[in-house]
Amino acid sequence: MIELLERADPAMGLEIDQARLRARVDERLGLSTRLWPEVSAGRRPWIIAVASFVAVLTVAIPLLLLHVRPSVNAPDLDGITDLPGFDEAIPLASGGLQLMVADGDTVWVMTTLQNLLQRVSAGSGDIEATYPIDARIEGVVVGDGHLWLMTTDDGGGVLRFSPASGVVDLTIPIGGAPGWAQWFGDNLWVSNDHGELVQIAAGGEIVSRRPGDLKGGEGLGHLWVNDPETGLISSLAEDSTLGEIVIPTLDGLETANGWGVRQVTESAGKLWLLDGDYPFGTNLSIFDPDTGELSSFGGLTFGLLDLIEYNGYLWVTSHTDHLLIRVDPATGDIRRYPVPGKAGGLVVAGGDLWLTLYHPGALVRLDTGADLIEAGEIVADDWNRFPHRMLCTGTADAGGPTVILQSADWIEYGSMSVVQAKLSNEGYTVCANGYVDGEASPEQRAVDLEEALVEAGINGPYVLVAAGDGVHAIRLFADGRDDIAGVVLVDPMPIGFQAFYDDLLPGFGTPPWLDLDAEVSTSLTDFGDSPLMVIGQDPDAVFLSQPFIQDAEREKAEAANMYWQDGLAFYAGLSTDSRSIVANDTGFDGIIWFQADLVVGEVLDVLGMTDTE
């Protein structure tokens, strides 16, 4: 039989054109193989590098555009402060890593899109002052009574800002775009993109330059620098001695420049290193200075950004998963707390822990002693091709239908983390499904959801909740099923909206929204008589908002709104038992963040209907 099988191998005798296949791979990577014959092998990596950098920029620019979108909403940050432990939420503080710094009882935040430097009182939560900065700033450091602003403008440099006068009083070119920066001892240390570590005195003089790549944070009385000579992370002392302590390598942890270790901090006499290989880095590692050994603490989740020690715990933000993670360094206990947005940087000011939410754009003061809502366990994790995730809470003996939360394509699976936590607290099994980054089609998402549920042994009936373009995957998943107990659609994306919008408003940056082929849509079964709630956007907060009308002209704004409202009506028609409501003052993704209670209430209504049937 084996011999017969071997003879039956369809690939037997198959001739494979290696060059042709490689060209297909390169096409997918955005690289041109046509260049290779004209370029020596030694230069190929450089071309790959340049092409890849262009690709990175191509990805980065739409991400920035995403950040502009809330300006057409009117975010109500009360939704954030309704959550336990979220004591203060201050708008416009879009600072991410290195864009927020504490100085005693003051938090300084750089809001990058508006180029505004804000001074926030950690005591009152008031924005005490706002300073326009005439440069693009990518890092803020406090030292010697000044703020030091890292700018990529004019070839890269550092601006010295005087809080007393409220102006930039010195510009220091550093010969390249700045990377990480730290105030240490009496000097500013900053990396630039030529692989140099630049030492700047308080007066602005450049004291030294040396090869090296600075890591974020400090610990064990040192800064930590990747030494390109050894490829290892080495200590940097205040007297600028490099390499008194050298951290060894560890399987699975990149220690080299750039990718790899992003941030370090000290806790319990050890140095903790955060794997910042965004978004796939997941691990914390521990360096023990007594033994000189580096060991793995283990995985936390994807998209790790910042690491800080506060009140005896390590605190880590996950950008993609919308989580704040607390690690007890003594016991190894890990707690994951959902946050209402994309978690960014952390600082301690005025004795409190402060967190930035990059999107929707808020600076939040946390009461870590409060009863923070906890996130659940991840039951599906990285299905190889796409970083697909399904995180389920309350899986043990919850009873009743399982709630499936299907995120919109471009805002990751953790985007409904607050909705999930609140529903779990009501005693239901809730699974958040989605991707760490978006590449999968709606069809793929539907099948991955189905497979993940089967793998996890989570059976119907299901109540389906979809946000934005997540509606397409949910409809595909529900097609022909008889175990759908109810559906809640949160501002669902109309069929064909991307093409319509692009035609209507060419040049307006939008995310690459997912769409569903109109014929496919027509072929899908509807939701029958299952309860269906459609939560629609408030037109006055989105397309008919004054800023949008100004940008798009009233006629086009009204056309966009009309298309969207028609879409909402279409979805409401998918069940004979449907209800439509409007989320006042917001729309798009804002609803799941700013009006989580509204979504939770509607889901509970649907669950209530299924309980009584």
Stretch that binds other proteins, among 18-26, 68-76, 288-296, 534-542 (CB under 8 A): 18-26
The Cα 128–Cα 121 span in angstroms is: 7
Tell whether residue 515 is a contact of other proteins (CB under 8 A): no
Backbone angles phi and psi of 210, in degrees to 5? -150, 155
Tell whether residue 95 is a contact of other proteins (CB under 8 A): no
> Which of 74/261 has CB closer to other proteins?
261
The Cα 168–Cα 222 span in angstroms is: 29
Single out the residue of 32, 39, 46, 241 in contact with other proteins (rule: CB under 8 A).
46
Structure-block tokens of residue 121? 């009182």
Tell whether residue 479 is a contact of other proteins (CB under 8 A): yes
What radius of gyration, in Å, describes the C-alpha atoms of the chain? 26
> Which of 21/64 has CB closer to other proteins?
21
The Cα 241–Cα 205 span in angstroms is: 19
- Min dist CB 137 to other proteins, Å, is 15
Single out the residue of 384, 396, 397, 503 in contact with other proteins (rule: CB under 8 A).
384
Tell whether residue 45 is a contact of other proteins (CB under 8 A): yes
Site for other proteins in 293-352 (CB under 8 A): none
- Min dist CB 20 to other proteins, Å, is 7
Site for other proteins in 518-547 (CB under 8 A): 520, 523-524
Site for other proteins in 224-253 (CB under 8 A): 251
The Cα 238–Cα 210 span in angstroms is: 15
- Min dist CB 127 to other proteins, Å, is 29
> Which of 25/581 has CB closer to other proteins?
25
Backbone angles phi and psi of 416, in degrees to 5? -100, 30
- Min dist CB 18 to other proteins, Å, is 6
Tell whether residue 194 is a contact of other proteins (CB under 8 A): yes
- Residue 464, Cβ density class (10 Å: 0-12 exposed, 13-18 middle, ≥19 buried): buried
- Min dist CB 52 to other proteins, Å, is 4
The Cα 340–Cα 156 span in angstroms is: 34
Tell whether residue 195 is a contact of other proteins (CB under 8 A): yes
The Cα 232–Cα 237 span in angstroms is: 16
Tell whether residue 40 is a contact of other proteins (CB under 8 A): no
Contacts 24+ apart (CB under 8 A), 132-138: 133/159, 133/161, 133/168, 134/168, 135/159, 135/168, 136/112, 137/99, 137/110, 137/112, 138/98, 138/99, 138/112, 138/177, 138/178
Tell whether residue 177 is a contact of other proteins (CB under 8 A): yes
Stretch that binds other proteins, among 192-200, 332-340, 414-422, 528-536 (CB under 8 A): 192-200
> Which of 381/605 has CB closer to other proteins?
381
Single out the residue of 35, 36, 48, 210 in contact with other proteins (rule: CB under 8 A).
48
Strand partners, 287: 271, 294
The Cα 560–Cα 469 span in angstroms is: 16
Single out the residue of 76, 227, 277, 412 in contact with other proteins (rule: CB under 8 A).
277
The DSSP code sequence of 525-593 is ---TTSEEEEEEE-GGGTTTSHHHHHHH-HHHHHHHHHHHHHHHHHHHTT-SEEEEEEETT--TTHHHH
Q: By the criterion CB under 8 A, which residues form the site for other proteins?
A: 1-2, 4-11, 14, 16, 18, 20-22, 24-25, 27-29, 44-46, 48-50, 52-53, 56, 176-179, 191-195, 213, 251, 254, 256-259, 277-278, 280, 383-385, 443-444, 447, 455, 476, 479-480, 520, 523-524
